[in-house]
Amino acid sequence: MTDELPPARKRMVKPPMGGTEEGRGKPARLKTAKMRTPSSQAWLSRQVNDPFAAKARAHGYRSRAAYKLTELDDRLHLLKPGIRVIDLGVAPGGWTQVAVERGVTSIVGVDLLPVDPISPAQIIEMDFTDPACGPLLIQMLGGPPDVVLSDMAPNTVGHRKTDHLRIMGLIEIGVD
């Protein structure tokens, strides 16, 4: 094991298609497994067989992450019409979809990856660790946010301590 990190990969974030409320019955086999790295195979296999991912597809959410925010907001009642919201690590857009569904119209999102539009949200493709990003988001929002959502997470490298430190680093930058 070396401490060297592999180069970051850019993946396309496509809204998922299909799925049912109940999820899938039998585990589905990957038809494209041979063309993928083991970690990509594992991610795709989880995605294809995950009942929450299937439920998200059935409800038109772009990611299963939508249910994390739904549960949080059902408890904390953060999302209300008229507030300003920033969504850090927005791709593919599940959290922004939930915020818009709950009446938020003033919302900006940022991600390293491209995201299909979610009206009326404004979304930019940028690295949030760029010092220019925070001020730009506030300028786009027309003022300071009432709520900052962050689900930012770097691509994992499979080394637990490294992955933990990289995730914590992003959280700290988001809190600042």
Ligand X SMILES: C[S@@+](CC[C@H](N)C(=O)[O-])C[C@H]1O[C@@H](n2cnc3c(N)ncnc32)[C@H](O)[C@@H]1O
Euclidean distance between CA atoms 152 and 170, whole angstroms? 7
| Residue from 63, 104, 118, 174 binding ligand X (CB under 6 A) | 63
Strand partners, 148: 86
Nearer to ligand X, 67 or 159 (CB): 67
Q: Is 118 in the site for ligand X (CB under 6 A)?
A: no
Please report how close the Cβ of residue 81 comes to ligand X at its closest, in angstroms.
20
Nearer to ligand X, 63 or 106 (CB): 63
Q: Is 127 in the site for ligand X (CB under 6 A)?
A: yes
| Residue from 53, 55, 84, 151 binding ligand X (CB under 6 A) | 151
Please report how close the Cβ of residue 26 comes to ligand X at its closest, in angstroms.
27
| Residue from 56, 79, 91, 121 binding ligand X (CB under 6 A) | 91
Q: Please give the backbone phi and psi of residue 86, each rounded to the nearest 5 degrees, phi first.
A: -115, 135
- CA nearest to 171, candidates 156, 149, 155: 149
Query: 99 with 87: CB under 8 angstroms?
Result: yes
Six token digits for residue 8: 């970051």
Query: 13 with 91: CB under 8 angstroms?
Result: yes
Euclidean distance between CA atoms 84 and 81, whole angstroms? 9
Q: Is 112 in the site for ligand X (CB under 6 A)?
A: yes
- CA nearest to 110, candidates 173, 39, 16, 164: 173
Binding-site size for ligand X (CB under 6 A) equals 23
Q: Is 93 in the site for ligand X (CB under 6 A)?
A: yes
Residues that bind ligand X (CB under 6 A): 62-63, 65-66, 89-95, 110-113, 127-129, 151-154, 170
